[in-house]
Chain A
Amino acid sequence: MSSHEETSTTDSRGRVTVEGLSKTYGTGDGRVVAVDDLDLEIEPGEFVTVLGPSGCGKSTLLDCIAGHVEPTTGQVTVDGEPVSGPDPSRGVVFQENRLFPWKTVRENVAFGPTVRGRSTDRVEPLLERMGLSGFADSYPNELSGGMAQRAELARLLANEPAIMLMDEPFSGLDVMTKQRMQVELLSAWRKTDATALFVTHDVEEAILLGDRVVVMTARPGTVKTVVDVPLDRPRDHGSRTSEAVTQLKEHLLASIHDEADVEFATREPPASDRTMSEPSSDSEPRGDAVGRDGHEVGAATQYTGEGDR
């Protein structure tokens, strides 16, 4: 009887618990509270997306879970173990592509298993599955943006992480490539048991990918609301236009624009820290602004992502 319990606990690898997480950068007048008293629980194998306005501390949250940033107060635990630094069980895909430029695609994908002294048998099939076989001996600077992100995803998967952390990985891609990558990510993730945390400021992306969407408040960032996504899996491009998505999108847009308005009203000079200043929305496709009454069109443009569909 207890053996069954033990099995179920090993199966439930990848539970992320964030308790009372706060992160403050700088001191005195330059002091910025990036994340304030944030609680979040992610179930093993769950796909959670984090949605929020620029500079709301989404990246800081992800950095804390990854172990790259130490919380000021509170803590992150994974399967009951406090996070004290980076670990290969928590893989990260970065916003800017971070393939090692001095390594070929194959060497990049094999990096994790190689440094950990593990078998690299998975590398070739993975390259094949991700459509990278023809580019295995190319260097990252020879790849297109979508190809490079696919290679970075393959590098992460080669390590078989229990948790996949993704920080706006597709924000630099054009709309078509971005949409393809979203579906490819879903199919790659389905083949794993991994828990996924995906940070984005694109509402449609958040809905399409996530089991739950965590909406964050403007600075200081904390959880505003958590919304379940009533969409069956597997999901594909068709899911984008479903009734459920359209309704949820409307709901989330209203929620996020409240936050964007707060942000606009209290906008300060951009902080120097990376996590404080989101990349310019230039990389973001500018769809038609959703002219929600009373909301600034500029703000709307920033979050609708691909326009109103």
Chain B
Amino acid sequence: MTNYGQTRRRASETVDRLARRLETVSPRVRRGLSVLALFGLWWALVRFGVAGFAFFVSPAETVVAVASHLVGEPVADGGTIYRHAAYTAGRVAVGVSLAVAVAVPMGLLIGTSRRWERFVYPGLEFLRPIPPIAWVPLVLVIFPTVRMGVVFVVFLGAFFPTLVNTIRGVQAVDAEYRRAAESLGASNRQVLTRVMVPSALPAILTGVTIGVGLGWITVIAAEMITGEYGLGHVIFQAYRLVDVESVVVGMIAIGALGAASTALISAAADRATPWLSESPGVTR
């Protein structure tokens, strides 16, 4: 008991010491180490055949595969990885943009008006729990082209988180800011554009960030079902052809694009809300 406790304490001290030493390493190197560790784990899993990993490709094979696809070797149906990635990214961009364009104004309306909240929100609340993917069969029937259908499913994925966060953000706006603006001579419209929107902006951006994430999830799933083009289709096609390398190439492409879009959104959000990033210069 005591021994176990001591060992544990010693172990945790060692971990602490290592962590402290890690903190002296530059952030860039630390990030590199994290990726390296992931590759190490992957290599070990394949090398020792843990679970079904014996059938999986090793990091080395993958690097070769990725390199060959990067220089233009087709992945599925004769399309290059770039072509498929462009389709997928384009669907996410269009779907999310449409979702933001509809959800933000609608959220402002619902968040500021009781009447709109009463009439519009209950219906939306009924639709919200339906996973976007469940719409795919219906969407394939309704929409004339698969492309439009997939975009619509992405739209659904991004729409609800953006809407809900916009509504919450608007409803959380401190009434005193509104009063202050009105006392300074702001019209209702100016209160909306100069007080409600900027005050709710951090919440809205959180919604958009979640929406982009869900957009990626739904686009891949939708493409797996609908086929034609896109990284989801690449992965599913490769799975059917037992082309494990292409599966991994597709996954890596999704990971890279997802990370890039997250970085893009977060940089845009920082720029849009400069007052949040400033550190307090003087303590109150």
Residues of A within 8 A of B (CB): 66-68, 85-88, 90-92, 94, 96, 98, 100-103, 111-112, 115-116, 138-145, 147, 155, 159
> Which 5 residue pairs across A and B have the least CB separation, nearest first?
A88-B185, A86-B182, A112-B184, A102-B198, A139-B275
State whether the Cβ of B177 lies closer than 8 Å to any Cβ in chain A. Answer: yes
Given contacts A98-B177, A144-B283, contact A111 B184 (CB under 8 A): yes
A87 to B179: give the CA distance in the assembly, Å: 10
Query: Of A101, A112, A116, A142, which is within 8 A of B282 by CB?
Result: A142
Query: Of B177, B183, B275, which is within 8 A of A91 by CB?
Result: B183
Query: Of A68, A90, A91, A115, which is within 8 A of B194 by CB?
Result: A115
Measured between beta carbons, the chain A residues less than 8 angstroms from B278 are 138-139, 141-142
Query: Of A91, A98, A147, which is within 8 A of B176 by CB?
Result: A98
A147 to B, closest residue via Cβ: B282
For the A-B complex, the count of residue pairs with Cβ-Cβ distances under 8 Å equals 81
Measured between beta carbons, the chain B residues less than 8 angstroms from A116 are 185
B180:A98 contact, CB within 8 angstroms: yes
B176:A96 contact, CB within 8 angstroms: yes
Q: Give the size category of B's interface with A.
A: 20 to 34
Given contacts A138-B281, A142-B280, A145-B284, contact A100 B183 (CB under 8 A): no
Query: Of A85, A96, A102, A141, which is within 8 A of B199 by CB?
Result: A102
State whether the Cβ of B181 lies closer than 8 Å to any Cβ in chain A. Answer: yes
A94 to B182: give the CA distance in the assembly, Å: 13
B282:A90 contact, CB within 8 angstroms: no
What are some 28 contacts across the A-B interface (CB < 8 A)? A66-B183, A68-B182, A88-B183, A88-B185, A90-B183, A92-B179, A94-B176, A94-B179, A94-B180, A96-B176, A98-B176, A98-B177, A98-B180, A100-B180, A100-B181, A100-B195, A100-B198, A101-B275, A102-B199, A111-B194, A115-B181, A115-B186, A138-B281, A141-B278, A142-B280, A143-B282, A144-B282, A144-B284
B184:A102 contact, CB within 8 angstroms: no
A100:B177 contact, CB within 8 angstroms: yes
A159:B184 contact, CB within 8 angstroms: yes
Given contacts A88-B183, A159-B185, contact A139 B274 (CB under 8 A): yes
State whether the Cβ of B266 lies closer than 8 Å to any Cβ in chain A. Answer: no
Measured between beta carbons, the chain B residues less than 8 angstroms from A115 are 181, 184-187, 190, 194
Query: Of B184, B187, B201, B281, which is within 8 A of A142 by CB?
Result: B281
Contact mask B23-45 → A, CB, 8 Å, 1/0? Answer: 00000000000000000000000
A102:B185 contact, CB within 8 angstroms: no
A86 to B, closest residue via Cβ: B182
